[in-house]
């Protein structure tokens, strides 16, 4: 048996406990049912459209994480990331300098 701890504000806990008490469930059983249903549906056991921006943000973050793992970037150190940024900036500056040189010759 595993222990799961979740932090919620007291008002939310009180409201949801009252709801589950009214239908004869304690909070632990209700959460267990939520987890079982999540496994069966392989996702949230309810329509999540009303969560809006939060769900979309999570989807985007997961896609970014997957991409960085596929490209081997998720294990980079901060120094390696900063070096990549420095190199990209150097390349951009060189490209801009070359474009400026070409523009000066054409004038």
> What CATH number is given for 1-46 in this structure?
1.10.1220.10
Ranges of each domain in the chain: 1-46, 48-76, 77-107
pLDDT digits over 23-77, tens only?
888 999 999 999 999 999 888 887 766 556 676 777 888 888 888 888 877 777 8
If you write DSSP's letter for every residue of the chain in order, what string do you get?
Answer: ---------HHHHHHHHHHHHHTT--HHHHHHHHHHHHHHHTS-SS--GGGTHHHHHHHHHHHHHHHHHHTT-TT--HHHHHHHHHHHHHHHHHHHHHHHHHHHHH-
pLDDT digits over 65-92, tens only?
888 888 877 777 888 888 989 999 999 9
pTM higher than 0.75:
no
């Amino acid at each position: 048996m595993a222990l799961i701890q979740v932090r919620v504000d007291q008002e939310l806990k009180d409201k949801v406990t009252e709801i589950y008490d009214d239908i004869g469930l304690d909070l632990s059983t209700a959460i267990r049912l939520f987890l079982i249903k999540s496994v069966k549906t392989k996702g949230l056991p309810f329509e999540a459209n009303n969560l809006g921006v939060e769900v979309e943000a999570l989807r985007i973050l997961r896609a970014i994480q997957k991409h960085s793992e596929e490209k081997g970037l998720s294990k980079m150190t901060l120094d390696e990331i900063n070096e990549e940024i420095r190199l990209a900036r150097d390349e951009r500056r060189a490209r801009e300098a070359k474009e400026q040189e070409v523009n000066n010759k054409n004038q």
